[in-house]
Structure 1
Amino acid sequence: MTLNLLWTSADSLVAAFALSVLVPWRHALPLALMFGLCDGLGSALGVSLPFAGGLGAMLLMASGAALLVGLPIAQRLLTAPGWLYVLPPLLAIDNVVSRTSDLPALAALASAIMAGLGFASGAIVLNWWRAGLRDARPPAAACLIAAGSLLAWGG
């Protein structure tokens, strides 16, 4: 396992942590598996598209910013959990654009584990923080912006 593999899976950890604050628990396992599947497929493709990582990072940071400032589109997206399933393919862009010697199955496993850890730690923090947390959107938005920044910096 290379450092690049851990780097390209770290965005799944951060995004899953952010999503754990926003989504019902029943979406955690399908999303974690989808993070792994998309990162594995992205690693298997391994094409060279230099602009794709920047596009994915910008979309992630824009969605975090929209959530943070409370734009109406962010409010509508929060009521429809289907938009969450767009994030795993979006976050797999870094796996597509970075050529690695790791097996795609290893990339899928690492990403699914990282996403699972993100959902679990987010649930723990949410339960610990629940008493004083009135609005979960700011921490979730900050995590989405962090995931986009991680994708931009690593890509």
Structure 2
Amino acid sequence: MSLENQINEKIKEAMKAKDKDRLNALRAIKSAILLAHTEKGATDTLSEDTEVKILQKLHKQRKESYEIFIQQNREDLAAEELAQMRVIEEFLPKPLTEEELHEEVSKLIQELGASSPADFGKVMGVASKKLAGRADGKAISEAVKKLLNK
């Protein structure tokens, strides 16, 4: 079942349950998917990779808004953002733990034959593609630096 179909089903459920925060988050996801369909060069169906990127973008926006609202002592708005973040997380792939991330990056370093910090770009390019959606770029970058500097 595509993400779009899942979202439509979840929207119906949220409407029946009268869950306002969940409904707002699901509608935001649906809106982003519809926008992706109307972009230049878009096809009728979105790839799973594109769907994950959309979800990650929405999650990141909510997280940044949440942090701003916390700094401004707006707990009411922060709570809304946090609730929406949790709904979006349901559709994202399970993130890697720090140990799993280090394990994956170590395997890539061995496969690519990287041995020094000079190979950072080569490893980063492959790692970010392979681990997309399961770890953010900053975490991947830190793991690659740490393992190449050993």
Look at both structures and tell me which one has the larger radius of gyration over its CA atoms: 2
| TM-score (ref. length: structure 1) | 0.33
Which structure has more helix as a fraction of its residues? 1
